[in-house]
Amino acid sequence: MNKDQLFEQIKAKKSFLCIGLDPALEKLPKHLLKYENPVLTFNKEIIDATKDLCVAYKPNTAFYECMGLKGWETLIETWKYIPQDIFSIADAKRGDIGNTSAMYAEAFFNQTQSGMGFDAITVAPYMGKDSVEPFLKFKDKWVILLALTSNPGSNDFQQQDGSSGKLYETVLQTASGWANSDQIMYVVGATKGAELKNVRKFAPDNFLLVPGVGAQGGNLDEVCENGLNDQCGLLINSSRGIIYAGYGKDFAEKAREEALKLQVEMEAWLRRANLI
């Protein structure tokens, strides 16, 4: 999916919500445990209940990898179940020397080889240009580079000041020379909402994946105030805040209610910014 198609979807759905599919078996509603694959059943019900309210789904691969072979199958089946016109993000946080990154790119982008054809993958920039380039060789596929993450540890490296500014500023500046805003997005945590104004100085046109609203306490209004651009430019993610909104048989309905609350707030912001 390219940038214009993503923006069209945002306008049509009046939403820039990304739903994180991070299901942990022990947190699933108990009635699902009787199914052959409870996690897949859970994901499918969440997708059915929310697909008109969000523009992206983001399974974090850790929640699947920890289940071994069955987890990989579940990830593949989940990807297949995400409607084709919804942006799909493999939150895998990969990145390695070039020939290894090329294999990671095949794993998440090449459907005929791996069974998964995600639109985007999250990548750590630490190993530099040659570790990112293999992901950029796929047309209409996206790299989402970690810039300023939502967790407290983002202070350890990303916010450290060097001679050419903070490390995350260097990431934004340097990566802008690797590909344009049609292929690179950046992760900026919702918990870093105030810093988003500064991020936009370095990345005015890029889409930003913004996790951290809901369970991590990020502020949606602050993110929108500082982060919206003329093509919206934001995908705001919530995982636990939506998928665990309910614990009983009505869990999907409860998830929908939470997603709807966020969609309504997003619609108001899109109107305020004259984007719809």
Ligand X SMILES: O=C(O)c1cc(=O)[nH]c(=O)n1[C@@H]1O[C@H](COP(=O)(O)O)[C@@H](O)[C@H]1O
Q: Does 189 bind ligand X (CB under 6 A)?
A: yes
Pairwise CA distance, residues 90 & 270, whole Å: 26
Nearer residue to ligand X within complex by CB, 88 or 238: 238
Residue 197 is among the residues annotated as catalytic for this protein: no
CB 148 within 8 A of CB 168: yes
DSSP structural state of residue 126: G
With contacts defined by CB under 6 A, name the span among 70-78, 112-120, 210-218, 228-236 that binds ligand X: 210-218
Rg (CA), the chain: 18
**CA-closest candidate to residue 105, choices 74, 86, 69, 130:** 130
Residue 105, classed as helix, strand or coil, is helix
Which C-beta is closer to ligand X: that of 167 or that of 275?
Answer: 167
- Residue 231 engages ligand X in binding (rule: CB under 6 A): no
Q: Which of residues 122-181 bind ligand X (CB under 6 A)?
A: 122, 149-151
Burial of 37 by CB count in 10 Å (0-12 exposed, 13-18 middle, 19+ buried)? middle
Segment 52 to 91, residues that bind ligand X, using CB under 6 A: 60, 91
- Asked whether position 23 contacts ligand X by CB under 6 A, the answer is no
Give Cβ neighbours of residue 141 (< 8 Å, ≥ 6 apart). Answer: 109, 118, 119, 120, 121, 135, 183
Q: Exactly one of 23, 29, 38, 214 binds ligand X (CB under 6 A); which one?
A: 214
Query: Among 76, 102, 179, 215, which residue sits at the site for ligand X (rule: CB under 6 A)?
Result: 215
Binder of ligand X out of 216, 219, 265, 273 (CB under 6 A): 216
Give the x/- contact pattern for ligand X in 104-123, rule: CB under 6 A: ------------------x-
* Contact (Cβ atoms closer than 8 angstroms) between residue 220 and residue 194: no
Which is nearest to 240 in space by CA: 224, 223, 272, 218? 218
If residue 98 lies in a helix (H) or strand (E), which one and from where to where?
helix 98-109
- List the one residue from 237, 251, 263, 270 that touches ligand X (CB under 6 A): 237
Residue 149 or 263: the one with the smaller Cβ distance to ligand X is 149
Q: Closest separation between CB of residue 112 and ligand X, Å?
A: 26
Q: Which of 11, 44, 93, 261 is catalytic?
A: 93
User: How many CB atoms are located within 10 Å of the residue 65 CB?
Assistant: 12
Q: Which stretch binds ligand X (CB under 6 A): 30-38, 71-79, 178-186, 206-214?
A: 206-214
Instruction: Out of 241, 245, 262, 269, point to the residue binding ligand X (CB under 6 A).
Output: 241
The C-alpha angle 40, 3, 149, rounded to 5 degrees, equals 65
Q: Among all residues, whose Cβ is closest to ligand X? A: 149
Active site residues: 93
Q: Which residues bind ligand X (CB under 6 A)?
A: 20, 22, 60, 91, 122, 149-151, 187, 189, 211-212, 214-216, 237-241
